[in-house]
Amino acid sequence: MSTNNDRNVLGTELQTCCTSPMTGFFRTGVCVTGPQDRGTHVICAEITAEFLTYTKSQGNDLSTPVPGSSFPGLNPGDKWCLCATRWKEALEAGVAPPVDLAATHNTALKFVSLADLQQHAISP
């Protein structure tokens, strides 16, 4: 769970990614991780249609709701805590969605470079 010690990729206090829909591995709205989170859901991204198509083609349908598992299904424009490895795969495929740097946990830097994240940053 999130603590006041959680930092974003910029080195400052981690900000909320999204509460509507409620995101994060722990469904707190914050992209924090823990031992239970095998996917490392730490990149706060603004979902695009291109990314939804891509991730569905990779076997992870994020647009269809899953009743009973707190997953509403995503639409373009929603913000969501993505798996760091899936974002990296999307980057390599040319379809990485924009990133909210202030809401992306610094654990993401174990998987992708700050430069790549900055190139895809949501404009302030």
Alpha carbons 112 and 45: distance in angstroms, whole number: 14
Provide the phi-psi class of 77: left if phi over 0, else alpha when psi is between -120 and 50, else beta.
Answer: left
pLDDT at position 4: 57
Distance, in Å, from the CA atom of 83 to the CA atom of 24, rounded to the nearest integer, reads: 10
| 33 vs 12: CA distance, rounded Å | 17
pLDDT at 86: 96
Render each residue's pLDDT in the chain as its tens digit; 124 residues: 445 579 999 999 999 999 999 999 999 999 999 999 999 999 999 999 999 999 999 999 999 999 888 788 999 999 999 999 999 999 999 999 999 999 999 999 999 999 999 999 997 6
Question: What's this model's pTM, rounded to 2 decimal places?
Answer: 0.93
Q: In the structure, how many helices (H) and strands (E) does the chain have?
A: 3, 2
Closest CA to 31 of 19, 52, 16, 21: 16
